[in-house]
Amino acid sequence: MATLTVKDFGTLENGQKIQHFTLDSGNGCLVGISEYGAIITSAKYPDSQGISDEVTFGFDNLADYVNSQGSFGTTVGRYANRIGGAQFTLNGKTYKLEPNEGKNQLHGGANGFGFQPFKGTEVTTDNGVAIKLERLSPDGEAGYPGDLIVSVTYTLSQANVLTITYDATSNQDTYINLTNHAYFNLDGIADDGSTSVLDHQITLNGSFIVPIDAESIPTGEIRPVDNTPFDLRQPTLIRKGTENPDAEMRQVNNGYDISYIVGADDGKMKIHAYVKSAHSGRALKVVSTQPCVQFYTSPHLTKTALQDGKTVNKYAGFCLEAQDYPDGPNVAHFPTKPLRAGDQYHQVIEYHFISE
Protein backbone atom coordinates (compact mmCIF):
# COMPACT_ATOMS: atom_id res chain seq x y z
CA MET A 1 0.00 0.00 0.00
CA ALA A 2 1.32 3.45 -0.95
CA THR A 3 1.97 5.82 1.98
CA LEU A 4 3.05 9.39 2.68
CA THR A 5 5.21 10.66 5.54
CA VAL A 6 5.93 14.27 6.48
CA LYS A 7 8.82 15.93 8.31
CA ASP A 8 10.17 19.43 8.93
CA PHE A 9 12.81 20.36 6.36
CA GLY A 10 13.96 23.68 7.80
CA THR A 11 13.09 27.36 7.97
CA LEU A 12 13.67 30.11 5.42
CA GLU A 13 15.22 33.45 6.37
CA ASN A 14 11.76 35.03 6.52
CA GLY A 15 10.71 32.49 9.14
CA GLN A 16 8.60 30.33 6.84
CA LYS A 17 8.80 26.66 7.73
CA ILE A 18 9.30 24.15 4.91
CA GLN A 19 8.03 20.60 4.96
CA HIS A 20 9.43 17.53 3.26
CA PHE A 21 7.29 14.65 2.04
CA THR A 22 8.26 11.06 1.29
CA LEU A 23 6.04 9.07 -1.04
CA ASP A 24 6.35 5.30 -0.64
CA SER A 25 4.85 3.11 -3.35
CA GLY A 26 4.77 0.09 -1.08
CA ASN A 27 6.66 -1.70 -3.85
CA GLY A 28 10.24 -0.60 -3.26
CA CYS A 29 10.10 2.96 -4.63
CA LEU A 30 10.58 6.04 -2.44
CA VAL A 31 10.37 9.63 -3.72
CA GLY A 32 11.18 12.73 -1.66
CA ILE A 33 9.46 16.06 -2.32
CA SER A 34 10.18 19.49 -0.79
CA GLU A 35 7.75 22.38 -0.42
CA TYR A 36 10.67 24.62 -1.34
CA GLY A 37 10.88 24.70 -5.14
CA ALA A 38 8.41 21.80 -5.42
CA ILE A 39 11.62 19.79 -5.71
CA ILE A 40 12.18 16.07 -6.19
CA THR A 41 14.86 15.66 -3.55
CA SER A 42 15.27 11.91 -3.82
CA ALA A 43 14.23 8.86 -5.84
CA LYS A 44 15.13 5.34 -4.80
CA TYR A 45 14.11 2.03 -6.28
CA PRO A 46 15.57 -1.49 -6.60
CA ASP A 47 18.00 -2.72 -9.22
CA SER A 48 17.69 -6.14 -10.86
CA GLN A 49 19.07 -7.75 -7.69
CA GLY A 50 16.55 -6.01 -5.46
CA ILE A 51 19.08 -3.53 -4.06
CA SER A 52 17.66 -0.03 -3.67
CA ASP A 53 19.80 3.02 -4.33
CA GLU A 54 19.52 6.77 -4.87
CA VAL A 55 19.11 7.54 -8.58
CA THR A 56 18.63 11.32 -8.59
CA PHE A 57 20.72 14.30 -7.52
CA GLY A 58 19.82 16.29 -4.43
CA PHE A 59 21.00 17.74 -1.14
CA ASP A 60 20.65 16.73 2.49
CA ASN A 61 19.18 19.99 3.77
CA LEU A 62 17.13 23.03 2.86
CA ALA A 63 20.04 25.48 3.07
CA ASP A 64 21.89 23.70 0.26
CA TYR A 65 18.86 24.06 -2.01
CA VAL A 66 18.46 27.74 -1.13
CA ASN A 67 22.14 28.42 -1.89
CA SER A 68 22.36 26.20 -4.96
CA GLN A 69 23.11 27.66 -8.38
CA GLY A 70 21.71 24.58 -10.09
CA SER A 71 18.27 23.14 -10.72
CA PHE A 72 18.57 19.70 -9.15
CA GLY A 73 15.05 18.24 -9.13
CA THR A 74 13.38 21.64 -9.20
CA THR A 75 10.05 22.65 -10.69
CA VAL A 76 11.08 25.03 -13.45
CA GLY A 77 8.95 28.07 -14.32
CA ARG A 78 7.40 30.35 -15.24
CA TYR A 79 9.03 29.41 -18.52
CA ALA A 80 11.39 26.46 -18.70
CA ASN A 81 14.51 26.66 -20.86
CA ARG A 82 15.61 29.94 -22.42
CA ILE A 83 13.90 33.09 -23.62
CA GLY A 84 16.14 35.08 -25.94
CA GLY A 85 16.85 38.66 -24.96
CA ALA A 86 14.87 38.10 -21.75
CA GLN A 87 11.75 39.54 -23.32
CA PHE A 88 8.68 38.70 -25.37
CA THR A 89 5.79 40.57 -26.94
CA LEU A 90 2.20 39.64 -26.11
CA ASN A 91 -0.94 41.50 -27.21
CA GLY A 92 1.25 44.25 -28.66
CA LYS A 93 3.13 44.87 -25.40
CA THR A 94 6.77 43.94 -24.82
CA TYR A 95 7.53 42.41 -21.43
CA LYS A 96 11.06 42.75 -20.10
CA LEU A 97 12.01 39.68 -18.10
CA GLU A 98 14.73 39.13 -15.54
CA PRO A 99 17.92 38.09 -17.37
CA ASN A 100 20.04 35.51 -15.56
CA GLU A 101 22.19 34.00 -18.31
CA GLY A 102 23.90 36.87 -20.02
CA LYS A 103 21.22 38.89 -21.77
CA ASN A 104 18.82 35.92 -21.80
CA GLN A 105 16.52 34.32 -19.26
CA LEU A 106 16.98 30.68 -18.23
CA HIS A 107 14.34 28.68 -16.33
CA GLY A 108 12.26 31.67 -15.26
CA GLY A 109 15.11 33.75 -13.87
CA ALA A 110 17.40 33.62 -10.86
CA ASN A 111 14.38 33.49 -8.55
CA GLY A 112 12.24 31.14 -10.64
CA PHE A 113 9.83 28.57 -9.24
CA GLY A 114 12.66 26.27 -8.18
CA PHE A 115 13.69 28.88 -5.60
CA GLN A 116 10.23 29.71 -4.27
CA PRO A 117 8.22 28.12 -1.44
CA PHE A 118 5.05 26.19 -2.24
CA LYS A 119 2.35 25.02 0.15
CA GLY A 120 1.90 21.25 0.29
CA THR A 121 -1.35 19.40 0.96
CA GLU A 122 -1.96 15.65 0.98
CA VAL A 123 -4.62 14.68 -1.54
CA THR A 124 -6.50 11.47 -2.22
CA THR A 125 -6.35 9.95 -5.70
CA ASP A 126 -7.41 6.71 -7.35
CA ASN A 127 -3.87 6.05 -8.60
CA GLY A 128 -1.76 6.35 -5.46
CA VAL A 129 -0.57 8.58 -2.65
CA ALA A 130 -0.17 12.23 -3.66
CA ILE A 131 1.01 15.63 -2.49
CA LYS A 132 -0.26 18.84 -4.08
CA LEU A 133 2.01 21.90 -3.93
CA GLU A 134 0.57 25.34 -4.67
CA ARG A 135 1.74 28.94 -4.93
CA LEU A 136 0.70 32.32 -6.30
CA SER A 137 3.17 33.83 -8.72
CA PRO A 138 2.27 37.52 -8.55
CA ASP A 139 1.87 39.82 -11.53
CA GLY A 140 5.31 41.08 -12.56
CA GLU A 141 7.31 38.29 -10.92
CA ALA A 142 10.52 37.98 -12.97
CA GLY A 143 8.79 40.25 -15.48
CA TYR A 144 5.85 38.01 -16.39
CA PRO A 145 2.30 39.38 -16.60
CA GLY A 146 -0.63 38.14 -14.54
CA ASP A 147 -1.31 36.71 -11.11
CA LEU A 148 -0.66 33.03 -11.80
CA ILE A 149 -2.07 30.40 -9.45
CA VAL A 150 -0.07 27.23 -10.01
CA SER A 151 -0.14 23.72 -8.56
CA VAL A 152 2.21 20.77 -8.94
CA THR A 153 0.83 17.40 -7.85
CA TYR A 154 3.12 14.41 -7.34
CA THR A 155 1.42 11.00 -7.30
CA LEU A 156 3.30 7.75 -6.73
CA SER A 157 1.50 4.55 -7.67
CA GLN A 158 2.05 0.99 -6.45
CA ALA A 159 3.41 0.29 -9.94
CA ASN A 160 6.31 2.69 -9.18
CA VAL A 161 5.08 5.39 -11.54
CA LEU A 162 5.57 8.98 -10.42
CA THR A 163 3.03 11.27 -12.10
CA ILE A 164 3.61 15.03 -12.05
CA THR A 165 0.52 17.09 -12.88
CA TYR A 166 0.86 20.81 -13.57
CA ASP A 167 -2.18 23.10 -13.40
CA ALA A 168 -2.35 26.89 -13.56
CA THR A 169 -4.67 29.82 -14.23
CA SER A 170 -3.93 33.50 -14.71
CA ASN A 171 -5.99 36.70 -14.53
CA GLN A 172 -4.02 38.09 -17.51
CA ASP A 173 -2.75 36.60 -20.74
CA THR A 174 0.74 35.23 -20.08
CA TYR A 175 3.23 32.56 -21.07
CA ILE A 176 3.90 29.45 -19.00
CA ASN A 177 6.03 26.36 -19.56
CA LEU A 178 6.55 24.07 -16.56
CA THR A 179 8.77 21.03 -16.21
CA ASN A 180 10.89 19.13 -13.71
CA HIS A 181 14.67 19.30 -13.80
CA ALA A 182 15.60 16.01 -12.10
CA TYR A 183 19.02 14.55 -12.87
CA PHE A 184 19.09 10.76 -13.03
CA ASN A 185 21.74 8.06 -12.91
CA LEU A 186 20.26 4.57 -12.97
CA ASP A 187 23.38 3.03 -11.43
CA GLY A 188 23.20 5.22 -8.35
CA ILE A 189 25.73 7.81 -7.18
CA ALA A 190 29.24 6.44 -6.66
CA ASP A 191 31.28 7.26 -3.56
CA ASP A 192 34.46 8.02 -5.54
CA GLY A 193 33.12 10.67 -7.95
CA SER A 194 33.16 8.29 -10.93
CA THR A 195 29.40 8.39 -11.52
CA SER A 196 28.64 8.36 -15.26
CA VAL A 197 25.71 7.86 -17.64
CA LEU A 198 27.86 7.32 -20.74
CA ASP A 199 27.02 3.60 -20.78
CA HIS A 200 23.31 4.15 -20.26
CA GLN A 201 21.28 3.26 -23.33
CA ILE A 202 18.65 5.74 -24.49
CA THR A 203 15.79 5.60 -26.95
CA LEU A 204 14.31 9.06 -27.57
CA ASN A 205 11.27 9.41 -29.80
CA GLY A 206 12.11 12.72 -31.44
CA SER A 207 12.57 12.98 -35.22
CA PHE A 208 13.49 16.68 -35.07
CA ILE A 209 15.67 18.91 -32.90
CA VAL A 210 15.55 22.63 -32.26
CA PRO A 211 19.12 23.82 -33.11
CA ILE A 212 20.67 26.54 -30.96
CA ASP A 213 23.23 29.31 -31.37
CA ALA A 214 26.34 29.99 -29.27
CA GLU A 215 24.15 31.41 -26.47
CA SER A 216 21.91 28.30 -26.52
CA ILE A 217 19.02 30.27 -28.03
CA PRO A 218 17.04 28.51 -30.79
CA THR A 219 17.97 29.63 -34.29
CA GLY A 220 14.37 29.08 -35.42
CA GLU A 221 15.29 26.05 -37.50
CA ILE A 222 13.54 22.72 -37.06
CA ARG A 223 16.03 20.08 -38.19
CA PRO A 224 15.60 16.34 -38.86
CA VAL A 225 17.88 14.13 -36.76
CA ASP A 226 18.58 11.75 -39.66
CA ASN A 227 22.27 10.87 -40.06
CA THR A 228 23.33 12.94 -37.05
CA PRO A 229 24.49 11.99 -33.52
CA PHE A 230 21.17 13.43 -32.33
CA ASP A 231 19.25 10.51 -33.83
CA LEU A 232 18.33 8.45 -30.79
CA ARG A 233 15.20 6.79 -32.16
CA GLN A 234 16.92 3.41 -31.85
CA PRO A 235 18.58 2.27 -28.60
CA THR A 236 21.90 4.12 -28.40
CA LEU A 237 24.65 4.34 -25.80
CA ILE A 238 24.95 7.92 -24.64
CA ARG A 239 28.72 7.84 -25.15
CA LYS A 240 28.23 7.16 -28.86
CA GLY A 241 26.88 10.66 -29.23
CA THR A 242 29.18 12.48 -26.84
CA GLU A 243 32.25 10.98 -28.53
CA ASN A 244 31.07 12.07 -32.00
CA PRO A 245 33.11 15.02 -33.40
CA ASP A 246 29.93 16.81 -34.47
CA ALA A 247 30.30 20.62 -34.28
CA GLU A 248 27.03 21.11 -32.40
CA MET A 249 27.99 18.44 -29.88
CA ARG A 250 31.32 20.22 -29.29
CA GLN A 251 29.43 23.50 -28.91
CA VAL A 252 27.93 22.22 -25.66
CA ASN A 253 31.20 20.79 -24.32
CA ASN A 254 30.75 17.42 -26.04
CA GLY A 255 27.39 16.67 -24.51
CA TYR A 256 23.69 16.65 -25.24
CA ASP A 257 21.80 19.83 -24.36
CA ILE A 258 19.14 20.05 -27.02
CA SER A 259 15.37 20.08 -27.36
CA TYR A 260 13.66 17.31 -29.33
CA ILE A 261 10.21 17.62 -30.86
CA VAL A 262 8.20 14.55 -29.84
CA GLY A 263 4.69 15.47 -30.97
CA ALA A 264 1.89 18.02 -30.77
CA ASP A 265 0.74 19.91 -27.70
CA ASP A 266 -2.57 18.06 -27.88
CA GLY A 267 -3.06 16.86 -24.31
CA LYS A 268 -2.28 13.27 -25.29
CA MET A 269 0.33 11.20 -23.46
CA LYS A 270 3.37 10.41 -25.59
CA ILE A 271 6.38 8.20 -24.81
CA HIS A 272 9.28 10.64 -24.86
CA ALA A 273 12.17 8.40 -23.92
CA TYR A 274 13.30 5.12 -22.44
CA VAL A 275 16.67 4.85 -20.69
CA LYS A 276 18.18 1.72 -19.20
CA SER A 277 21.39 0.56 -17.61
CA ALA A 278 22.70 -2.91 -18.36
CA HIS A 279 24.83 -2.63 -15.22
CA SER A 280 22.02 -2.14 -12.68
CA GLY A 281 19.04 -3.44 -14.64
CA ARG A 282 17.16 -0.25 -13.84
CA ALA A 283 15.21 1.60 -16.51
CA LEU A 284 13.32 4.88 -16.68
CA LYS A 285 10.47 5.62 -19.07
CA VAL A 286 9.34 9.22 -19.53
CA VAL A 287 5.80 9.81 -20.80
CA SER A 288 4.25 13.25 -21.14
CA THR A 289 1.62 15.47 -22.75
CA GLN A 290 4.33 18.02 -23.59
CA PRO A 291 5.42 18.48 -27.25
CA CYS A 292 9.18 18.62 -26.61
CA VAL A 293 11.82 17.20 -24.33
CA GLN A 294 15.20 18.70 -23.48
CA PHE A 295 17.85 15.99 -23.29
CA TYR A 296 20.83 17.04 -21.17
CA THR A 297 23.86 14.97 -20.16
CA SER A 298 25.46 17.36 -17.63
CA PRO A 299 28.60 18.18 -19.67
CA HIS A 300 29.34 21.18 -17.43
CA LEU A 301 29.26 19.54 -13.98
CA THR A 302 32.57 19.82 -12.11
CA LYS A 303 33.16 18.54 -8.58
CA THR A 304 29.59 19.22 -7.52
CA ALA A 305 28.76 18.13 -3.95
CA LEU A 306 25.47 16.29 -3.43
CA GLN A 307 23.68 14.35 -0.69
CA ASP A 308 25.60 12.00 1.62
CA GLY A 309 28.86 13.83 0.92
CA LYS A 310 29.08 12.44 -2.60
CA THR A 311 30.53 14.42 -5.50
CA VAL A 312 29.67 14.27 -9.20
CA ASN A 313 31.44 15.42 -12.34
CA LYS A 314 30.86 15.70 -16.08
CA TYR A 315 28.38 13.18 -17.54
CA ALA A 316 27.28 12.05 -14.07
CA GLY A 317 23.57 12.45 -14.77
CA PHE A 318 21.01 12.93 -17.50
CA CYS A 319 17.90 15.09 -17.62
CA LEU A 320 14.79 14.56 -19.73
CA GLU A 321 12.81 17.79 -19.29
CA ALA A 322 9.41 17.41 -20.96
CA GLN A 323 8.37 20.92 -21.96
CA ASP A 324 7.15 23.38 -24.58
CA TYR A 325 9.40 24.84 -27.28
CA PRO A 326 12.42 26.78 -25.97
CA ASP A 327 12.05 30.52 -26.70
CA GLY A 328 8.59 29.65 -27.98
CA PRO A 329 7.10 33.13 -27.38
CA ASN A 330 9.68 34.69 -29.72
CA VAL A 331 9.64 32.35 -32.72
CA ALA A 332 6.52 32.98 -34.78
CA HIS A 333 6.46 29.57 -36.50
CA PHE A 334 6.85 27.63 -33.23
CA PRO A 335 3.38 26.47 -32.08
CA THR A 336 3.73 27.86 -28.55
CA LYS A 337 0.54 29.57 -27.43
CA PRO A 338 -0.03 31.97 -24.53
CA LEU A 339 -2.19 31.00 -21.59
CA ARG A 340 -5.25 33.23 -21.93
CA ALA A 341 -6.79 34.85 -18.89
CA GLY A 342 -9.19 32.45 -17.19
CA ASP A 343 -8.11 29.43 -19.22
CA GLN A 344 -6.58 26.31 -17.65
CA TYR A 345 -2.97 25.26 -18.16
CA HIS A 346 -2.62 21.49 -17.76
CA GLN A 347 0.37 19.27 -18.51
CA VAL A 348 1.47 15.86 -17.21
CA ILE A 349 4.82 14.08 -16.90
CA GLU A 350 5.24 10.46 -15.83
CA TYR A 351 8.44 8.81 -14.65
CA HIS A 352 8.13 5.02 -14.77
CA PHE A 353 10.76 3.51 -12.45
CA ILE A 354 11.45 0.02 -13.82
CA SER A 355 13.60 -2.88 -12.62
CA GLU A 356 14.40 -5.33 -15.41
Per-residue pLDDT tens over the stretch 219-229? 999 999 999 99
Model pLDDT, residue 171: 98
Which residues does the chain have with pLDDT short of 70?
none
CA distance 216 to 104: 9
| Catalytic machinery residues | 181, 321
Query: What is the domain count for the chain?
Result: 1
What 3-state DSSP class applies to 127?
A: coil
Residue 323 DSSP one-character state: E
Q: Give the range of the structural domain holding residue 347, as residue numbers without chain letter.
A: 3-355
Task: Supply the pLDDT for residue 299.
Answer: 92
User: What's residue 245's pLDDT?
Assistant: 87
Angle formed at CA 223 by CA 329 and CA 256, multiple of 5 degrees: 85
In the prediction, which pLDDT does 126 show?
83
CA quadruple 143, 144, 148, 150: dihedral, nearest 10 = -90
Burial class (CB in 10 A: 0-12, 13-18, 19+), 267: exposed
pLDDT of residue 64: 96
pTM of the model: 0.97
The enclosing domain of 49 has a CATH number of 2.70.98.10
Predicted local confidence at residue 70, as pLDDT:
84
pLDDT computed for residue 2 by the predictor: 87
